[in-house]
């Protein structure tokens, strides 16, 4: 049963069943600089923790003590470490421990140690399925929690089970539907699609790349000023070693101002979804992309690249002026070095 | 009057990300200075009082959450003092030393408090704090560090993929790698066996965005002679992040002498500097965000990234990415610059250093003392240090001077016969050749805003770095040439 934190428990120093343990003060002979003003409960619990660590005790009451400490200070990594060793020594039922961890997580214990403890437990239980569900629930509240996302990636990579992988694309799509700008979700997608080996059904890597390009283009069309989507697009092209110029037809409209309202509509090109009418254009990432295309083409196209970089430096992305001017200077160096 | 900057576009398609972004921009707008070159002055005394209060009176009970980070609290405080040019009095220095030594674990390394398990992060913080307050001899802290036991601790947490656990039964992440490398550099504990595999691990943490993640997942193939680490897959765990990027890049810089001794440069593995530079530059916020740095794509700016991301450019420069932070040694000017010379004439960095200073001064300072993530958040000692260190990084051009490195190598007192000795000498001279480029500091606002320069890898002053390393390597370091 869950013991409410508010329920008054006597201090360990007042509990007869703890009388055999010698509590140890934190600082014995030193008056420390920068002391922390501990509560009586915390000082008492940690004094007893130091006591049982010294005697190397691993017993059920140690589980109670370490739980007490981590409720007061979830960052106390030594208490977590000792708790884990005790669980192993006692051969405690780890599913119960995971259930306790679920409750602690609900009470907003958001530190890294909570997640790492789960990782240690699931390595023992070898039952990762419920973890994915737990992670998904966690991410509803805290959509970009770094520890949560990297724990999910670790579960998938470590167990490397097709059944676990099979729902991931759906999961990422749901997260991106909820917020197309969630960079953690985009990173997760790249991990699932390109960095975890080849699974059954995905052997046609060209088809996978085409699918991903179509996916990211659709998302750019909805909200073009989204650095996550453009970084993903670049990532896919770099990974597939595809030249950026293959996306020129798609990117071009995003690098130009919105056409006047009376412009006749374009013929719909499924390969090149157009920006929504509400998109704020030109979009900086698209201008940069076009400049990269022109730079790669070289020769006379370098002038076009330079013009685009100048527009970024002086108008659209002025905070990065120095970087855009660096790109201009570098392209001129290559030109003079490379031209025959 | 500063023109009101443009809001970040949301394409009439709002999500949680743009909601937070809009809210933050509304708050930051209120902190825009009336004139771009006259930001709020740095309230030194106020920040000193904030730090001193916690140091002497102690931390309030909400800091129980930091009970396993006591070395950090002290290091953040002491290094903030150092960056502001202030030192502790001898009594408090001794108290600091005695406090730090109580954190040393009997089996080697330092923990987050007395009796806490040894851990790489508190070890870095404790050793750096000792660099600031410690000294040789009895009671000085330095000679009471058990380096043999510490080395055994490090080897006991070394993983076969080049990573390190941060403590027994704890997580792997690249912060541990950084903390360990700085510690072994300062305390003269470098060995080839300790460094083996680290470069490969760091490389595997670079993501498609160009920045670095916390760690990567190794895969092994079962061979009769034992499992072999596969090159692929070796996926990064977690998206590109400012803190992990700093730790990865600083570690990579520290590994340069080791890599040079291993293989000729043509065969050497490397990072993708093009995407890294792009990512770093993309992390700087726009004018409406006052030029502060964010730590991840599509997240909010935060004062601490002033150091974690802002501090990366000097590191990139040292790796030969010309102009990343400013001039390198080849362009060192012998003439002093005029006070009223245009900023642009001598600042050829690839990022906006003036804008970062503006963020720190106008948004980073808390009116009641200390510095912070962003308004209206409370100040804390972590953000105080990393805002001030970021301010320092934005003001000064600290670069790797080959002249200085030659002078140090020239003064090396012991024969360099073994590979091990070669490594020690190379790392010693490399670490100590960081030099503040004269005449190129640019302080936004009054000169009172000027911070001391800090070592771009270790985040200690050059003086403290030299003091500790001279002792542990038993070398004398030639004094620096007098300023013109």
The tens digit of pLDDT for each residue in A65-120 reads 999 999 999 999 999 999 999 999 999 999 999 999 998 887 766 788 999 999 99
Residue B99's closest chain A neighbor by CA?
A32
Q: Can you tell me the mean pLDDT for B41-61? A: 95
Partners of B346 on chain A (C-beta within 8 Å) are: none
Query: Is B275 close to A73, i.e. CB distance below 8 A?
Result: no
Nearest-neighbour CA in chain B from A178: distance (Å): 7
Query: Is B208 close to A238, i.e. CB distance below 8 A?
Result: yes
SS (H, E, C) A120-147: HHHHHHCCCHHHHHHHHHHHHHCCCCHH
pLDDT category of residue A183 using cuts at 50, 70 and 90: very high
Residues counted in chain B: 484
Partners of B11 on chain A (C-beta within 8 Å) are: 222-226, 276, 278-280
Q: Give the separation between CA B398 and CA B440, rounded to whole angstroms.
A: 10
- The answer, yes or no, to whether residue B2 has pLDDT greater than 60, is no
Helix (H) or strand (E) segment spanning residue B221: strand B220-221
- The answer, yes or no, to whether residue B271 has pLDDT greater than 70, is yes
Q: Give the separation between CA B231 and CA B435, rounded to whole angstroms.
A: 37
pLDDT the model gives residue B266? 60
- The answer, yes or no, to whether residue B388 has pLDDT greater than 80, is yes
Q: Can you tell me the mean pLDDT for B127-133? A: 98
Query: Is B170 close to A154, i.e. CB distance below 8 A?
Result: no
Which of A24, A27, A33 should be substituted to probe chain B, the one whose Cβ sees the most B Cβ atoms within 10 Å?
Answer: A33
Q: Give the separation between CA B437 and CA B328, rounded to whole angstroms.
A: 9
Q: By the 8 A CB rule, do B209 and A231 touch?
A: yes
Q: What percent of chain B has pLDDT over 70?
A: 92
Query: Which of B61, B213, B282 has the CB atom closest to A37's CB atom?
Result: B61
Specify the 3-state DSSP secondary structure of A245: helix
Query: Which of A53, A76, A278 has the CB atom closest to B11's CB atom?
Result: A278
pLDDT the model gives residue A28? 87
Greatest mean pLDDT range, A151-160, A255-264, B321-330: A151-160
A226–B contact, CB cutoff 8 A? yes
Q: Give the separation between CA B378 and CA B388, rounded to whole angstroms.
A: 16
What would the pLDDT profile of B403-449 be if each residue is shown by its tens digit? 999 999 999 988 888 989 999 999 999 999 999 998 889 999 999 99
Q: How many CB atoms within 10 Å of residue A169?
A: 14
Nearest-neighbour CA in chain A from B213: distance (Å): 9
Query: Is B115 close to A26, i.e. CB distance below 8 A?
Result: yes
- The answer, yes or no, to whether residue B393 has pLDDT greater than 90, is yes
- The answer, yes or no, to whether residue B114 has pLDDT greater than 80, is yes
Nearest to B186 by CA among B246, B84, B254, B281: B254
Query: Is A183 close to B98, i.e. CB distance below 8 A?
Result: no
Q: What percent of chain A has pLDDT over 70?
A: 96
B175: its two tokens: 């912060």
pLDDT category of residue B344 using cuts at 50, 70 and 90: low
Partners of B17 on chain A (C-beta within 8 Å) are: 179, 181-182
pLDDT category of residue B137 using cuts at 50, 70 and 90: very high
Nearest-neighbour CA in chain A from B105: distance (Å): 12
pLDDT the model gives residue B219? 94
Nearest to B257 by CA among B67, B426, B374, B458: B426
Q: By the 8 A CB rule, do B21 and B300 touch?
A: yes
pLDDT category of residue B370 using cuts at 50, 70 and 90: very high
Q: By the 8 A CB rule, do B464 and B432 touch?
A: no
Q: Give the separation between CA A38 and CA A231, rounded to whole angstroms.
A: 46
pLDDT the model gives residue B337? 43
Name the residue with tokens 């804390």: B380
Q: By the 8 A CB rule, do B241 and B170 touch?
A: no
Q: What interhelical angle do A205-222 and A227-240 show, nearest 10?
A: 160
pLDDT the model gives residue B332? 45
pLDDT the model gives residue A333? 85
pLDDT the model gives residue A5? 53
B425: its two tokens: 């000498």
pLDDT the model gives residue A337? 58
A150–B contact, CB cutoff 8 A? yes
pLDDT the model gives residue A3? 52
Tell me the C-alpha to C-alpha distance, in Å, between residue A164 and each of A66, A132, A188, A200, B52.
33, 8, 14, 13, 52
Nearest-neighbour CA in chain A from B60: distance (Å): 5
Specify the 3-state DSSP secondary structure of B41: coil
A vs B, Cβ pairs < 8 A, gives 231
Partners of A42 on chain B (C-beta within 8 Å) are: 64, 67
Tell me the C-alpha to C-alpha distance, in Å, between residue B475 and each of A19, B133, B387, B420, B465.
54, 20, 34, 16, 13
Q: How high is the mean pLDDT of chain B?
A: 93
Query: Is B114 close to A26, i.e. CB distance below 8 A?
Result: yes
pLDDT the model gives residue B339? 45
A112–B contact, CB cutoff 8 A? yes
Q: Give the separation between CA B55 and CA B458, rounded to whole angstroms.
A: 23
- The answer, yes or no, to whether residue B251 has pLDDT greater than 80, is yes
Q: What percent of chain B has pLDDT over 90?
A: 85
Which residues of chain B from 117 to 136 reach within 8 Å of chain A, CB to CB? 117, 119
- The answer, yes or no, to whether residue B340 has pLDDT greater than 80, is no
A330: its two tokens: 């570098």
Question: Which carries the bigger pLDDT value, residue A30 or residue B363?
Answer: B363
B332: its two tokens: 């060192």
Name the residue with tokens 């907003």: A108
Specify the 3-state DSSP secondary structure of A82: helix
Query: Is B296 close to A183, i.e. CB distance below 8 A?
Result: yes
Q: Give the separation between CA B376 and CA B215, rounded to whole angstroms.
A: 33
Contacts of B283 (CB under 8 A, 6+ apart): B211, B242, B293, B294, B295, B297, B305, B309
Q: Give the separation between CA B141 and CA B129, rounded to whole angstroms.
A: 10
pLDDT the model gives residue B306? 98
Partners of B113 on chain A (C-beta within 8 Å) are: 26
Which residues of chain B from 148 to 167 reach within 8 Å of chain A, CB to CB? 167
Q: By the 8 A CB rule, do B392 and B454 touch?
A: yes
Query: Is A318 close to B287, i.e. CB distance below 8 A?
Result: yes
Tell whether pTM > 0.90.
yes
What would the pLDDT profile of B70-87 be if each residue is shown by its tens digit? 999 999 999 999 999 999
**Phi–psi pair at B297, nearest 5 degrees:** -55, 135
pLDDT the model gives residue B201? 98
Specify the 3-state DSSP secondary structure of B22: helix
ipTM > 0.90 for the complex: yes
pLDDT the model gives residue A260? 87
Helix, strand, coil content of chain B in percent (nearest 5)? 50, 5, 45
Nearest-neighbour CA in chain A from B295: distance (Å): 11
Partners of A205 on chain B (C-beta within 8 Å) are: none
What would the pLDDT profile of B172-227 be if each residue is shown by its tens digit? 999 999 999 999 999 999 999 999 999 999 999 999 999 999 999 999 998 888 89
Query: What does the buried/exposed string (b/e) look like for B442-458 if buried means 16 or more CB atoms within 10 Å of the residue's CB?
Result: bbbbeeebbbbbbbbbb
- The answer, yes or no, to whether residue A271 has pLDDT greater than 90, is no
Q: Give the separation between CA B233 and CA A125, rounded to whole angstroms.
A: 25
What would the pLDDT profile of A285-324 be if each residue is shown by its tens digit? 999 999 999 999 999 999 999 999 999 999 999 999 999 9
Torsion of the alpha carbons at B281, B286, B291 and B292, rounded to the nearest 10: -80
Q: Can you tell me the mean pLDDT for A277-288? A: 97
Q: Give the separation between CA A91 and CA A104, rounded to whole angstroms.
A: 21
Which of B105, B156, B208 should be substituted to probe chain A, the one whose Cβ sees the most A Cβ atoms within 10 Å?
Answer: B208
A242–B contact, CB cutoff 8 A? no
Query: Which of A75, A180, A322 has the CB atom closest to B65's CB atom?
Result: A75
pLDDT the model gives residue A340? 38
Partners of A195 on chain B (C-beta within 8 Å) are: 233, 235-236
Query: Is A319 close to B61, i.e. CB distance below 8 A?
Result: no
A144–B contact, CB cutoff 8 A? yes
Q: By the 8 A CB rule, do B197 and B162 touch?
A: yes
pLDDT category of residue A270 using cuts at 50, 70 and 90: confident
Residue A37's closest chain B neighbor by CA?
B61
Report the sign of the C-alpha dihedral through residues A96, A99, A104, A110, in that order: positive
Query: Which of B16, B92, B299 has the CB atom closest to A33's CB atom?
Result: B92
Q: Which residues of B are catalytic?
A: 241, 296, 299, 302, 304-305, 373, 380, 383
Helix, strand, coil content of chain A in percent (nearest 5)? 65, 0, 35
Query: Is B351 close to A323, i.e. CB distance below 8 A?
Result: yes
Partners of B12 on chain A (C-beta within 8 Å) are: 276, 278-279
B402–A contact, CB cutoff 8 A? no
pLDDT the model gives residue B10? 97
Name the residue with tokens 């043509």: B266
pLDDT category of residue A269 using cuts at 50, 70 and 90: confident
Q: By the 8 A CB rule, do B216 and B235 touch?
A: yes
**Phi–psi pair at A10, nearest 5 degrees:** -65, 155
Q: Can you tell me the mean pLDDT for A24-43? A: 94
Q: What percent of chain A has pLDDT over 90?
A: 84
What would the pLDDT profile of B282-337 be if each residue is shown by its tens digit? 999 999 999 999 999 999 999 999 999 999 999 999 998 866 555 444 444 434 44
What would the pLDDT profile of A220-229 be if each residue is shown by its tens digit? 999 999 999 9
Specify the 3-state DSSP secondary structure of B237: strand
Computed on alpha carbons and rounded to an integer, the radius of gyration of chain A in Å comes to 28
Q: Are strands B228-229 and B434-436 parallel, antiparallel or unpaired?
A: unpaired
B91–A contact, CB cutoff 8 A? no
Q: Give the separation between CA A101 and CA A117, rounded to whole angstroms.
A: 9
Q: Is B97 left (phi over 0), alpha (psi -120 to 50) or beta?
A: alpha
Query: Is B13 close to A239, i.e. CB distance below 8 A?
Result: no
Q: Identify the bridge partners of residue B435 per DSSP, sorted by sequence position.
A: B399
Q: Give the separation between CA A302 and CA A226, rounded to whole angstroms.
A: 26
Partners of A55 on chain B (C-beta within 8 Å) are: none
Q: By the 8 A CB rule, do A50 and A24 touch?
A: yes
pLDDT category of residue B249 using cuts at 50, 70 and 90: very high
Query: Which of B12, B15, B233 has the CB atom closest to A196's CB atom?
Result: B233
Q: Give the separation between CA A33 and CA B387, rounded to whole angstroms.
A: 23
pLDDT the model gives residue B342? 64
Contacts of B426 (CB under 8 A, 6+ apart): B257, B258, B260, B261
Name the residue with tokens 């960081």: B434
């Amino acid at each position: 049963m869950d013991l409410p934190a508010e329920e008054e428990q006597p201090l360990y120093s007042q509990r007869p069943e703890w009388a055999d343990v010698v509590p140890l003060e934190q600082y014995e002979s030193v008056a420390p600089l920068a002391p922390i003003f501990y509560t009586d409960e915390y000082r008492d619990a940690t004094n007893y923790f130091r006591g049982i660590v010294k005697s190397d005790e691993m017993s059920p009451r140690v589980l109670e003590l370490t739980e007490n400490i981590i409720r007061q200070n979830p960052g106390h990594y030594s208490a977590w470490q000792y708790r884990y060793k005790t669980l192993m020594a006692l051969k405690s039922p780890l599913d119960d421990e995971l259930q306790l961890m679920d409750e602690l997580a609900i009470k907003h214990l958001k530190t890294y140690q909570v997640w790492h403890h789960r990782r240690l437990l699931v390595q023992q239980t070898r039952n990762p399925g419920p973890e994915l569900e737990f992670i998904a629930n966690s991410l509803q509240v805290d959509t970009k929690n770094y520890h949560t996302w990297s724990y999910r990636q670790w579960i998938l990579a470590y167990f490397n089970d097709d059944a676990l992988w099979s729902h991931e694309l759906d999961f990422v799509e749901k997260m991106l539907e909820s917020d197309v700008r969630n960079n953690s979700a985009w990173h997760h997608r790249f991990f699932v699609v390109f960095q975890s080996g080849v699974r059954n059904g995905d052997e046609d890597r060209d088809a996978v790349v085409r699918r991903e390009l179509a996916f990211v283009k659709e998302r750019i069309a909805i909200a073009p000023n989204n650095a996550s989507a453009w970084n993903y697009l670049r990532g896919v092209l770099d990974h597939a070693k595809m030249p950026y110029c293959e996306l020129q037809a798609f990117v071009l409209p995003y690098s130009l101002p919105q056409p006047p309202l009376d412009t006749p509509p374009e013929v719909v090109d499924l390969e090149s979804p157009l920006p929504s009418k509400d998109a704020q254009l030109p979009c900086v990432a698209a201008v940069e992309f076009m400049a990269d295309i022109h730079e790669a083409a070289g020769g006379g196209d370098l002038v076009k690249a330079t013009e685009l970089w100048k527009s970024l430096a002086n108008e659209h992305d002025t905070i990065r002026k120095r970087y855009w001017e660096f790109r201009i200077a570098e392209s001129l160096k290559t030109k003079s070095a490379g031209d025959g | 009057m500063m023109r009101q900057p443009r809001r970040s576009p949301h394409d009439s398609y709002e999500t949680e990300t743009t909601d937070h972004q809009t809210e933050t921009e509304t708050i930051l707008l209120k902190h825009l200075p009336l004139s771009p070159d006259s930001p709020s002055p740095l309230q030194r005394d106020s920040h000193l009082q904030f730090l001193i209060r916690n140091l002497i009176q102690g931390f309030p009970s909400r800091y129980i959450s930091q009970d396993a980070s006591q070395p950090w609290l002290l290091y953040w405080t002491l290094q903030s003092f150092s960056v502001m040019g202030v030192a502790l009095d001898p009594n408090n220095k001794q108290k600091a030393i005695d406090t730090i030594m109580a954190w040393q674990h009997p089996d080697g390394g330092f923990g987050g408090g007395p009796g806490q398990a040894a851990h790489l992060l508190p070890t870095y913080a404790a050793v750096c704090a000792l660099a600031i307050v410690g000294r040789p001899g009895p009671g000085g802290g330095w000679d009471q560090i058990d380096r043999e036991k510490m080395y055994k601790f490090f080897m006991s947490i070394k993983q076969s993929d080049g990573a390190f656990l941060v403590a027994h039964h704890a997580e792997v992440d690249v912060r541990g790698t950084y903390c360990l490398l700085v510690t072994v550099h300062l305390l003269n504990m470098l060995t080839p066996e300790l460094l083996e595999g680290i470069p490969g691990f760091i490389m595997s943490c670079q993501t498609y965005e160009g920045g670095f993640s916390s760690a990567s997942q190794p895969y092994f193939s079962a061979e009769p002679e034992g499992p072999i680490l596969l090159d692929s897959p070796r996926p990064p765990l977690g998206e590109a992040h400012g803190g992990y990027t700093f730790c990865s890049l600083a570690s990579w810089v520290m590994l340069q002498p080791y890599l040079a001794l291993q293989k000729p440069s043509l065969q050497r593995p490397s990072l993708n500097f093009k995407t890294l530079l792009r990512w770093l530059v993309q992390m700087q916020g726009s004018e409406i965000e006052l030029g502060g740095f964010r730590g991840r794509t599509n997240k909010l700016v935060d004062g601490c990234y002033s150091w974690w991301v802002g501090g990366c450019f000097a590191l990139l420069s040292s790796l030969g990415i010309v102009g990343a932070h400013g001039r390198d040694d080849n362009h060192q000017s012998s003439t002093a610059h005029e006070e009223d010379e245009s900023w642009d004439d001598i600042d050829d960095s690839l990022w906006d250093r003036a804008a970062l200073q503006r963020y720190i001064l106008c948004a980073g300072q808390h009116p009641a003392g200390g510095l912070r993530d962003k308004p209206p958040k409370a100040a804390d000692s972590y953000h105080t240090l990393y805002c001030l260190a970021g301010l320092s990084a934005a003001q000064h051009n600290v670069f790797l001077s080959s002249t200085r490195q030659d002078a140090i190598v020239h003064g090396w007192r012991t024969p360099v016969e073994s590979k091990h000795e070669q490594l020690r000498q190379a790392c010693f001279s490399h670490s100590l050749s960081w030099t503040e480029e004269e005449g190129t500091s640019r302080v936004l606002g009054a000169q009172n805003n000027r911070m001391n320069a800090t070592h771009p890898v270790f985040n200690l002053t050059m003086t403290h770095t030299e003091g500790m390393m001279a002792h542990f390597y038993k070398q004398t370091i030639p004094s620096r040439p007098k300023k013109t």
